[in-house]
Amino acid sequence: MSTLTDQIATDVADAFLNTDDWGEAVTYTPNGGSAVSINVIWDESFETISVSDGVEIRNFQPACFADEDDITGDVDGDTIVRGGSTYYVLDKQGEQGQGIVILLLSLRSIHG
């Protein structure tokens, strides 16, 4: 009998991130590693960002949901290519063992 963790992992791969359902394939390159194709759920919301007292900018915040087994270790310097655009991974959110992690992305490198 499989554990709940195993069942979550199966659901993540077979249902949530399946490209026949909500998922789509992108190219993920860990810093210093090789590019691989992984499935993610893409999310791009708009939000108002305050950059100084009295200065507000409405801007998009790209992010994606990915299988935690595809994203291991520190994400600093990792990139994702989607539709010809390169996104830099700013942060990884979510706890190990929950199946899915959220990657916060930017068109600009934090080192740029």
Compare residues 4 and 83 and give the one whose CB is closer to other proteins. Answer: 83
CA distances from 32 to 13, 23, 24, 109 (A): 25, 26, 24, 15
Residues 67-106 touching other proteins, rule: CB under 8 A, are: 90, 105-106
Compare residues 4 and 58 and give the one whose CB is closer to other proteins. Answer: 58
Radius of gyration of the chain measured on its C-alpha atoms:
15
Alpha-carbon distance of 36 to 22, in angstroms, equals 19
Residues 18-57 touching other proteins, rule: CB under 8 A, are: 44, 47-57
Site for other proteins, rule CB under 8 A: 44, 47-62, 90, 105-108, 110, 112
